[in-house]
Structure 1
């Protein structure tokens, strides 16, 4: 079997493959959701992004492996979507394909895997990844807003305070405060919590 570059014709099949696997804690990668439609949209964006790429391995007509690299060539970094594999030995083929594709362009790769995802842990260990941080993800099932402070969209006059808070709390991760502000649109919003002392938090 050989790894190949994902193309537009394979997006739906890849979305369904990832959604099925990412719903399992033992395969879960935090950069992607579990809805096939959401994953399809993410893959479509990646497919349009000339800097990024995704790689698949086929077994007959079915997919047996997937690895995406959401790359930023200016920073020389990429977030790894996967690896999602039916068999652990396929990880090596996908990783070698990605390294060959991005040779000389990237110097850091990030992986955000569920603690139960031992396949990703094995992959990370074998390839020299270092643990940067551990996260806890929580889910709010009750939509009641009792006890919550009043929130609003980030006002322009708080942009500098937002940038300072984001870059202090989350240095060197995801997007900088300035990049988040530049990406704000109808799909990407920043909500803030304000009190008499001013800006005190954001989501």
Structure 2
């Protein structure tokens, strides 16, 4: 007998293991979600905070067997929610619309926009997004830099962001990424020993920044954003920022690879990443839908 219900706290371990298994397969991969079960569990319990996961995720059981998980990570300040999944056992996909209705019943009134981020090989979710009238926002390419190429990183002159350059960094970020999942102020609030902004100052002038996040516990890290002032482009600032960030990230033991996501149409950026040493990993597609 099929049962679809809101997740309980004691199910988070089983749920994170289920997500990890499916998210390691490109045919069921969702870009928002991790691939390590412990990392996923930690994120669900600690980072999904605007609406707790016990009020935003639903699970589907056939008898005692877990066959599906679907949820959202709400950002009430931005009035949006990122959809986690659907993660469903492939031969049970027919339950997806029942799960979707159950999950959307949990959405708070403050959420106006839903976002989906499936791998392009995840044809089921790709089609679901279209069937639910989501609009395609962008194509994204994910690139990977592995530790065994770390010897290619030469000396670079980046420095950690200091208060005197907060305004410069926020203005550049918000102008280059006006609709990003973090604005400049939100990045400032996230900074800690594992989340850093590095900058380059040329002759006393702010030239560019890069924001990176490390998860040493899981041996993972990501380059979230970086941008260069118009007047400084073509001067090697982008390459220096990337190399400086990579050198810092690889100071953590167990950090074997770094990923970043870039708009697939941004050929210049992709060429820069490849020049530094990044390799192609996979393609994702961003969908969005206004629901209010």
Question: TM-score when scaled to structure 2?
Answer: 0.64
**Backbone CA RMSD of aligned residues:** 2.0
Q: Which has the larger share of strand?
A: 2
**Structure 1 residue aligned with 2:72:** 69
Q: 2:190 aligns with which of 164, 170, 183?
A: 183
**Structure 2 residue aligned with 1:78:** 81
Displacement of 1:103:
5.6
Q: Structure 1 residues 35 and 150 mapped into 2: Cα distance closer, same or farther (>3 Å)?
A: farther
**Structure 2 residue aligned with 1:199:** 207
Cα deviations across residues 32-83 of structure 1 (Å, max 9, x unaligned)?
1111111111111256543651111112222211112110223321011111
- In structure 2, C-alpha distance between the alignment counterparts of 1:148 and 1:27, rounded to whole Å: 40
Q: Structure 1 residues 115 and 43 mapped into 2: Cα distance closer, same or farther (>3 Å)?
A: same
Cα deviations across residues 129-158 of structure 1 (Å, max 9, x unaligned)?
111111111001122352463333322222
**Structure 2 residue aligned with 1:113:** 118
How many residues are treated as equivalent by the alignment? Answer: 203
- In structure 1, C-alpha distance between the alignment counterparts of 2:157 and 2:99, rounded to whole Å: 47
Find out whether 1:128 has 2:133 as its counterpart. yes
Q: Structure 1 residues 192 and 6 mapped into 2: Cα distance closer, same or farther (>3 Å)?
A: farther
Contact preservation (8 Å) 1:194, 1:201: no
Q: Structure 1: which 5+ residue stretches go unaligned?
A: none
Q: Which has the higher contact order (CA 8 A, sep 6+)?
A: 2
Deviates more, 1:85-94 or 1:9-18: 85-94
Find out whether 1:144 has 2:151 as its counterpart. yes
**Structure 1 residue aligned with 2:179:** 172
Q: Structure 1 residues 201 and 11 mapped into 2: Cα distance closer, same or farther (>3 Å)?
A: same
- Say which one has the larger Rg: 2
Q: Structure 2: which 5+ residue stretches go unaligned?
A: 212-292
Secondary structure (helix, strand or coil) at the match of 1:101 reads coil
